Amino acid sequence: MDIKSFTKNLESIIDTFYKTELIKDANIQTNFTGDKKEEFLKEILALAATTALKLEEMELSWYAAKAQNKIQLAEALKSLVQTESIAKGVESNARINRANCYVGFLQVVANAQESGAIGSHASNCLRAINDIDITRIIGYEPVIVEIRNDIQKQIKE
């Protein structure tokens, strides 16, 4: 809010008020003289100033709400990026874990002193490694796409 904006709103309210039927009728039906007219105009000015302040307050509230909306939109976008990264990272991490297990198993086999012991544990070890789930998480994709689309619409507004 600046003084120019406030003054403009105040002048607009005063001009509008003077052009109303109420004021026209009041000037016709009453004979305002000196003090009465001055008091009447002071009351009008006070009412106009209060109204102008209320308009400025409403404008500030609107800007504050708009800023708060942008902050929440940024938070939603940040959460969406994190969610997509986690969903994509789960598969990659599972594949890395599986590869590391194979490497570890191969190192154990290479360093083993008794090859007979390896045979009895190899199938169990390989089964456990193969049980590491490397499938993509797809159940949340429709929700993520919907949220992404909503955020994109709001950003364009």
Please report the DSSP string for 81-99 in residue order.
Answer: HHHHHHHHHHHHHHHHHHH
Report the predicted TM-score, pTM, of the whole model to 2 decimal places: 0.56
**Tell me: the pLDDT tens digits for 86-142?**
888 888 899 999 999 999 988 988 887 777 777 778 888 888 888 888 887 778 888
**Cα dihedral 134, 136, 139, 143 sign:** positive
**Cα dihedral 82, 84, 89, 94 sign:** positive
Name the CA radius of gyration of the chain, rounded.
37
Confidence (pLDDT) at 121: 81
H-only helix segments in the chain? 3-18, 21-29, 34-111, 115-130, 141-156
**Tell me: the pLDDT tens digits for 57-102?**
999 999 999 999 989 999 999 999 998 888 888 888 999 999 999 9
**Residue 144 to residue 88: CA distance in whole angstroms:** 12
Is the model's pLDDT at 29 over the cut of 60?
Answer: no
Q: Which residue has the tokens 């000015």?
A: 45
